[in-house]
Structure 1
C-alpha cells in the first residue's frame, strides 16, 4: 500500500508514504491533509483495521448501524389438484445444532513500527495510540570510517579509550508560553512529573553505563506541550558528525515505535536537529528533521538550533 501526493499544477511528487505491514486489515488510513498556519500539510498515518470500514468509522466517533434486510414477500401459487391422500413417512429427527458463536468485535490493528522518510516525514502519535505514558528517545550511532571501531548510543562511546561525547538535548515550549532546554550542560536534566515533563537521566561521558543516556517525555501531560525539538550536539571527541551513521527511535509506552535514519553529514556540523514534536489541536505530530546545522563563528550549537527554529531564548555560557 502506498500513497503519493503530487502538485496539481506541475505534477511534481511532493510526498510519498509506503506501508508494508498490512496483514488482515480490510480498511486502512494511509494519510491525512490538515490546515496549519495558512498552509496545507500532509502527514502519514498508516493505521489498519481488521473490522473494515465500520471499525475505521467507529474510531473517528461515527456510529455504524447495519441495515436490516427484509425477507422477500411470499408469492401466492395455485395448489395442484389432489386425487388421493398420500401418506408420507415422518422426517428423520434433526440433530441438535450448537448455537452460533458470535465473535467479539475486532479491535483496530496497530502497526508495530512506523518509519519516517523524506517523502513521508511526519506521523501522528495520536492515531497510533501513543498519547500517554513515557515516550523514550533512542539515538544510535554507527561509525563508518573516520572513527573505525567506534560507536555511540545516547552519547556513549563504545571504544574503551574513546573520548567521543555526544549529548542528547531537547528544547521545549509549553502551552503557557514558558520555554527552556533539557541537557547535561549546566545540569539542566529536567523533570518528569513537574514542568517541563521531560527528563534526561544523566550524562554518560565515559561509556561505562551500558544504557547510555535516555531522554524521556511524559505524555500524560501532553496538553501542557506546545512543541519539543530533540537535538544532539558533539561535546568533545569530534568536530563534525561526518562518518557517523545515526538512527533515531521514538518509543511510546503505548502505540507503535517511530524511527528514521539521518542523512549523511556533508557539512562541518557539531549539532543536528533530530525530531520536532508539536501539539496540533490535541494531536501529537512527530516530524522528522534530520537537519545538520553549522554554527557561525563564536555561536554555540544550542543558540544555533534556537535561531534555526525561532525559540527566542537568552543563552549564557555553561559547562558540565
Structure 2
C-alpha cells in the first residue's frame, strides 16, 4: 500500500510502479463543452517523433508503447516499462473543443484533478488538484511522466495554453493538417465523402493481467459479441519410437453470467447448458469441440442487443479430459464485435497443477463493454466461483 502524495504545480514525486491508471476529473460542469484528454509521447527535444505518438480520441491506443486512452471516461492506462528509449516524457493534457469559438474556458470548470493509481492494486499513488477558476485558456498541460536516472517520475504542471487541441498538437510537433480552428473549405462535388480520420486497428492484444479496454459505442450498438476459443489438442511432442503416445486435451469454453436484476447462471457444455442466443440468458455455446482440431474452435455468442440487461460475464476454460498442460496447449480467445477491433487474450502465466482458467471479465460499464484480462487458475468451478463472488451451487456433471 502507498501513502498518497498530493502535489502542487511544479512539484514532482517518484513512481513506485511502471503500471498506472490515470484519471482526469473536472469540477463544475458547464453547458455544452466537449472536454478531451490527450497524451503526447515526447523525445529529448520535447517533440513527438512521429504522429502516432499523439494519443487522443481518434487514436486512443499506442499498444507498442503501453499507452491506452479511454476518451469517454477521461482515463488513461500507462505501462511505462514498454515505452521505447527515445520517449523521455509523456505529457498529459486536456482541452475544450472549439472553446474559443463558444466563449468557454477552464475558468468555468473551476477545478481539474489528476489521480494516479497502481494499475494492479488500485491503490492511490499521487494526486494533483488544479484550481482553474482564473484560467481563461481552453487547453491545459496537466502533468508530465518523465524519465529520471532509469526511473519514472511524475511532475504536476498545470500550465494554461492558448488555443485548443490543434495548436497544442502543433506545439508538440504533430502534423495535424486542417483541424478545429480552420475555416470550412468550399464544398467540392465527390462521389463519396471522405471518412473522418480514425485509428484502424484490426486486433488489440491484452498482454498483462488486469489490463482493460472499453469498446466504443456506435449507432448500431454492440451487435453480436463472439468469443472464440482455439487451442492445440495434442501439444506434447512424441517421446520417440518407444515413448507413450501423448494424450489429447479436451478444452471447454464456458462462462458465468450475471444480470442487472441479480439473476446468475452458467453456459457450458458440461451438463448440457448450451444457453440460448435469442431468449434468456441471451448467450449460446455453438459446439463442444472435443478434439481441438476444429478450424473454428469453440464460440460463445452473446446477444449484444440485450447488453444493457447484463451486469458482467466471466469467460473461463477448463480441461475436461487430458493432463492440465496449459503451458503447451497454446490457447487463445478472440472477442469480436461489429465495427470494432478484435480483442485477443492468450492463456499464459501458466499453472499446470490446475484444471480451470478464468480468462477475462466482460462488464457493462454505462452501457459499454469493458474487457479485462484475468488469467487466474483454479482447481475447479467452486473455487473460481468463490474468488469472483458468483454464489452458485455446483454438482458433478458430465458431457
* TM-score normalised by the chain length of structure 2: 0.52
Q: Per-residue deviation at 1:184? A: 0.3
Matched, 1:253 2:338: yes
Q: 1:258 to 1:102 in 2, by over 3 A?
A: same
1:245 positional shift: 2.5
**For the residues of structure 2 that align with 1:119 and 1:303, how far apart are their CA atoms?**
22
5+ long unaligned stretches in structure 2: 6-12, 22-38, 42-49, 61-67, 79-94, 103-185, 239-244
Structure number with larger C-alpha Rg: 1
1:31 matches 2:69: yes
Corresponding position of 1:101:
188
Q: 2:236 aligns with which of 125, 147, 164?
A: 147
Pair 162,191 (structure 1): closer, same or farther in 2 beyond 3 Å: same
Gaps of 5+ in 1: 1-6, 45-56, 69-98, 150-159, 296-300
Q: Equivalent residue for 1:214? A: 299
Q: Of 192, 205, 210, which aligns to 1:115? A: 205
Distance 1:315 1:173, change over 3 A: same
In the alignment, the residues of structure 1 paired with residue 246 and residue 330 of structure 2 have an alpha-carbon distance, to the nearest angstrom, of 20
Number of equivalenced pairs: 248
**Of the candidates 357, 366, 386, which is equivalent to residue 272 of structure 1?**
357
Question: Which of 1 and 2 has higher RCO (CA within 8 Å, sep 6+)?
Answer: 1
Instruction: Give the Cα separation in 2 of the matches to 1:161 and 1:262.
Output: 21
CA 1:204–1:139 in 2, change beyond 3 Å: closer, same or farther? Answer: closer
Quote the residue 1:286 is aligned against.
371
8 Å CA contact 1:43–1:120 kept in 2: the answer is no
Q: Deviations over 1:216-240 (max 9, x none)?
A: 1111111011000000000011134
Structure 2 Cα separation of the partners of residues 129 and 100 of structure 1? 26
Tell me the C-alpha RMSD between the 2 structures. Answer: 4.1
- Gap change, CA 1:178 and 1:108, over 3 Å in 2: farther
Taking structure 1 as the reference length, what is the TM-score of the superposition? 0.64
Distance 2:338 2:262 in 1: 27
